[in-house]
Amino acid sequence: MRGPTITFPDGTRRDFDHPPTGAEIAAAISRELAERALAVMVDGELRDLSEPITTDATVRIVTPEDPEALPLIRHDAAHVMAEAVQKLYPGTQVTIGPAIENGFYYDFARDEPFTPEDLAKIEQAMAEIVRADKPFVREEVSREEARRRFAALGETYKLEILDSIPEGERITIYRQGDWFDLCRGPHGPSTGRIGAFKLLKVAGAYWRGDPKRPMLQRIYGTAFPTKEELDRYLHQLAEAERRDHRRLGREMDLFHFQEEAAGSAFWHPRGWTLWREIESYMRRRLAAAGYVEVKTPQLIDRSLWERSGHWEKFREHMFTLEFEDRALAIKPMNCPGHVQIFNTRLRSYRELPLRIAEFGSCHRKEPSGALHGLMRVRAFTQDDAHIFCTPDQITAETAAFCALLMSVYRDFGFEQVRIRFADRPAVRAGDDAVWDQAESALWQAVRETGLEVTLNPGEGAFYGPKLEFVLQDAIGRDWQCGTLQVDFVLPERLDASYIGADGGKHRPVMLHRAILGSLERFIGILIEQYAGRLPLWLAPVQVVVATVTNDADSYAREVADLLARQGLRVELDISADKISYKVRQHSLAKVPVIAVVGRREAEERRLVLRRLGEQAQEQLDLETAAARLAGEATPPDLARGGATRPPAAQ
């Protein structure tokens, strides 16, 4: 009997006289590959190394360096953790245990709560299972056999999962030694191939995500092929905790959240100063780039959202209300409102491109469990804009926008930016011909502007393809902020048109674009990027003038007045506290500069400047210090243009 023909990634082929397993194929290539192999890709499907390949196929052996390896290793680690838990705590039931973006988890049903000490014990038990190097064995069983096995163990949650599997679907169990679980797989060769792992925390989780069902205990962990990779990740976690914008927001007195307005920030004076500085910067950049700013209503009748298509697509995320027999929605985005402004009169091609910008306040129904400080909110403000242009202007507008966006990111201290091309999603507005046109136009703009992009398949907006701009922060995390979307659909749905050079009516192309995305989220990212130590031009309080003794109070007031006239945001601290206490408190609040004045400084009209995070002090005469600080605090766009710094926000 002839076996299958296996095609390798380099195009070479090999015939086998029997259905080979992935392990056999790896061994046939080299001993080293066989030792490093974790799984096999068969025609794009990840499979166990032990599974025979019965038909002709394209095959790639998966090793620890491949992107498919990490979720596989983490899934293996989840099973090992579950075995360790049940070994240590008999009577505990296991439910589900998937690999997730940064690790894995398993949900357990146990009356007694897990403690941090328990996690250490579980890790030790996991290490023993890893050292035992137990093979992962896949078994296909009947539904009745699976029910018998799990019923014998008292695994009621597994029986419920089993009942939810559709009739006709294969039932598979994975076993490591005597321990087994209901699982689709695939898994690696054995427990000894997991690499380095760490259990991170315990959290509560409702069974099936339903608050009416039992509360389970979820243990989170992570795993990597090597200890070095694990150590880097744990360092990143520690850094992320140190930089957490929620904690820093409290220490810097920027904002707070409370249950009475869940998902909406209460901005304190310092936080609102930071907001206004960012907003002012963006306004200047947009004005210089030829945008006009508008403001559109918060409450808009349901009929407009139906015509735009948002009612069908986003209804479940929209806050709505009834008033005078009308259904109204609080806007979740600004796009339809900008089309209404475009449509207020007949436009000429000579007016295009028309760039309409808005710092649009939006609201969306985000689940309570998804809310996360400024990063995930219900009330947010977008630095939104829509460019109405002709098809032949798409490339030039894309190039201009990308140049503006990159310049803005550099000004905020982000140098690493990746661009992803997101094409048509499964659920979308418009027919395939419209999407073909939009995607072709955006690809042409990408090619002609020389942008380097990676494909993000199926993640386009529901009305058009888009470019996604992903920032990398100081500790290596990715944040998707900016976007540029090409839309042929909304102008058609909302009947936008202009008079072309031929005297006829034409549909404009609508480019949806944002740079910061959500101001709330971007401020959270900035705080974590700088660990609260914002650049001088962004700091809510740039200088605190602090006295050593009260006989310097008069001079301190004079210093504060002079610095304020230079455009600096200044606070005065002439309290009776010791200077060491003042320095400590203002440093905790991340004030960049503390200007210390005592009797000698008043007599000599000098300042002692203490910079945040630096031990050394600098002594300067008052006028020199004021001029230097004012120069350092000038926003980068004004510094480049030589413009005069506006008065500080009060």
pLDDT digit string, tens, across residues 33-46: 999 999 999 999 99
Question: Does the pLDDT value for residue 512 go beyond 50?
Answer: yes
Ramachandran class of 281: left when φ > 0, alpha when ψ lies in -120 to 50, beta otherwise: alpha
Question: Does the pLDDT value for residue 648 go beyond 70?
Answer: no
Question: Does the pLDDT value for residue 123 go beyond 70?
Answer: yes
**Contact in structure between 20 and 40 (CB atoms under 8 Å):** no
pLDDT at 1: 55
Task: Report DSSP state, residue 374.
Answer: T
pLDDT at 63: 94
Q: What is the mean pLDDT of the chain?
A: 92
Segments of 115-214 assigned E as strands: 136-141, 171-176, 179-182, 196-206
How would you label 97-107 residue by residue, b for 16+ Cβ within 10 Å and e otherwise?
bebeeebbbbb
What is the tens place of the pLDDT at every residue in 227-276?
Answer: 999 999 999 999 999 999 999 999 999 999 999 999 999 999 999 999 99
Confidence label for 315 from pLDDT (cuts 50, 70 and 90): confident
| Cα–Cα dist 358/116, whole Å | 48
pLDDT at 647: 44
Element (H, E) at 340: helix 335-342
Segments of 313-353 assigned E as strands: 320-323, 326-330, 347-348
Q: Which residue has the higher pLDDT, 311 or 635?
A: 635
> Model pTM?
0.83
What is the tens place of the pLDDT at every residue in 578-606?
Answer: 999 999 999 999 999 999 999 999 999 99
| Cα–Cα dist 157/134, whole Å | 25
pLDDT at 409: 96
Domains in the chain (CATH in brackets) are: 5-62 (3.10.20.30), 69-241 (3.30.980.10), 266-296+332-529 (3.30.930.10), 543-641 (3.40.50.800)
pLDDT at 642: 45
Question: Does the pLDDT value for residue 136 go beyond 80?
Answer: yes
Q: Mean pLDDT throughout 102-130?
A: 94
Which are the catalytic amino acids? 335, 364, 382, 384, 386, 466, 512
Q: Mean pLDDT throughout 619-639?
A: 94
Question: Does the pLDDT value for residue 645 go beyond 70?
Answer: no
What is the tens place of the pLDDT at every residue in 45-55?
Answer: 999 999 999 99
Tell me how many degrees the CA angle 310-316-317 measures, rounded to the nearest 5.
75
Nearest 5°: phi and psi at 320?
-125, 160
What is the tens place of the pLDDT at every residue in 431-453?
Answer: 888 888 888 888 988 888 888 89
The number of residues making up the chain comes to 650
pLDDT at 118: 95
What is the tens place of the pLDDT at every residue in 61-77?
Answer: 999 999 999 999 999 99
